[in-house]
Amino acid sequence: MKKKLISALLCTSMAASLFAGCSGASEGGVDPDAATEEAAEETAESEVVTNTFGDPNGTHLEMWTFVELHGQHYGVMAEEWNKQHPDNTIEITCTTYPYGDMHTKLLTALEAGTGAPDICDVEVGQFPNVVEGLDQWLVPLNDYAADYLDTMVTARMETYQGEDGNYYGAPYHVGATVMYYNVAAMSEAMGLTQDEVIAKIDAVKTWDDYAALGEEYLGTVSEEGKYWTSVDTGGVDWLWIAMAEYGDDWTGGFDDPANVQLDSVKNMLSMQQDWLKSGLAEVSPDGHVDLEAGFQNIMDRNIVSFPKAMWYMSRFTNYMPDEAGNWYIAKCPVFEEGQICSVGIGGTGTVVTQQSENIELAAEFLCWAKMSEEGEQHIWDTLGFDVCNAALWTDDAFAHDENNQYNQFFINYPYDVLADIGMDNIGKISVVSISPTINEYFCTTTLNEVLEDPDYSIDDALQEAQDAIDMEQ
């Protein structure tokens, strides 16, 4: 099994930059979540960084991560834990390794049965490798998360679920997909007030409505090279949205074979081909919006709307700060009214290993640090992630804090959008062993075939993809 899993891990690492939700400027995103979904997560650190926090006289816990800011989060939470639990204090050493090194080191330690930390971050694309040995490697978190599960977004918890139905990872964020609209650009071009533009955006319910608004906007723009949106050849986020809306999952989950020849996928690709032919959309520079060329395209107002997970908010504040006050966040359109309108993309689940000598304390601390009101507050303020504890989405002090940089940057409050979506309207696409194969083939072949050549047969492209995927399953 070792040889097989190490091979899988290496394949996943090579495909990371093509992985949905993990994709960013490189990811999984600009953050390694230089390639996947969270800017901080996708850019692997180049050096090993170690910090120790908490009470030197308390129980010692070892934690590994690939994002130093994540380690800082646990440091802050350890200090708060010690204040609340003076008779059960902890000291935690957080070590940040380069992305690939950490995941390989963890898997090697789990297989060897020695050398693993108490707590460890696992990027969503790597999770299938680590959960493979769930019987003897990881600690089920169900009991420790019990106090929070009623208000945690189910789809996010299920992302880090094992084949046995237990939860083995605690999430940092929902990664809920929303639409971003440049209201300032639309207002200027259309000769409308900000409120009038927002009213038009809020009236969009379906993809047909979305296209109609795009045509109205473009009808007022005389400059060449301007589009309503861009479509991606280097990421599958658009397809995840479509599958979530129809309740599909091309991976087949744990039980069924992968099937990419889904009506949801065909409908989205067909719609995008129509947009490219009509001039409503362009192909995203460098493949998707989460790279430098994508940021520049947005700042140049070559596109004024696009879907992306809520963690993309940090891309605006970090890479496009001059866009403050221009952008409005809204729910994604659907193909048919009544469908769910969002999907969780990207992420990192944090696990407790069976090798820990303090399993009870490690698991209790982990779930508290990532699911409690205190933990979620710090995740939002410091990491900028849309938190999974939905009880906070409508908490005025939390959701409407005027000191928060994202509340200051965007026209509306991000959590008002999340609350409007609702935790039950956020879908999930499974991340299993076949996921890297699917994502890599689509990002290197299928999407280029059907979007670079809008006359290319979608049915033929999906058959080619299915044939390639079938060889790996």
Q: What DSSP string describes 366-431?
A: HHHHHHSHHHHHHIIIII----SBGGGTT-HHHHT-TTSHHHHHSSS-HHHHHHHH-GGGEE----
Handedness of CA 353, 355, 357, 360 (dihedral sign): positive
How far is the C-alpha of 417 from the C-alpha of 335, rounded, in Å? 19
The CA–CA distances, whole Å, from 184 to 198, 274, 295, 325, 410 equal 10, 27, 17, 8, 11
Q: Write out the two tokens for 394.
A: 């409508």
Contact 292, 25 (CB under 8 A): yes
The domain locations on the chain are 49-174+346-392, 176-343+429-471
Determine the pLDDT at residue 146. 97
Compute the residue count for the chain. Answer: 473
Amino acid present at 400: H
Residue 175 contacts residue 327 (beta carbons within 8 Å): no
The reply to whether 49-174+346-392 and 176-343+429-471 are identical in fold is yes
Residue with tokens 């069924």: 256
Report pLDDT for 8. 40
Query: Euclidean distance between the first and final Cα of the chain, in Å?
Result: 16
Sign of the dihedral through C-alpha 409, 413, 415, 419: negative
Q: Could you list the mean pLDDT of each consecutive 10-residue stretch along the chain, which spans 473 residues?
A: 37 38 32 37 64 97 96 96 98 96 96 97 93 85 97 95 93 97 98 98 98 98 96 97 98 94 98 98 97 97 98 96 98 97 96 97 98 96 94 96 95 98 96 94 98 98 98 93
Residue-level pLDDT at 134:
66
Dihedral pair phi/psi, residue 445, rounded to 5°: -130, -65
pLDDT of residue 45: 43
Summary count for the chain: helices (H), strands (E)? 22, 13
Which residues neighbour 68 within 8 Å (Cβ) at sequence distance 6 or greater?
A: 45, 49, 96
Residue 56's Cβ-count burial label (10 Å; 0-12, 13-18, 19+) is: exposed
Q: What CATH topology corresponds to 176-343+429-471?
A: D-Maltodextrin-Binding Protein; domain 2 (3.40.190)
Look at residue 47 in the predicted model and tell me its pLDDT.
Answer: 85
pLDDT at 6: 38
- In the prediction, which pLDDT does 442 show? 98
CATH of domain 49-174+346-392: 3.40.190.10
> Is this model's pTM higher than 0.85 or not?
yes
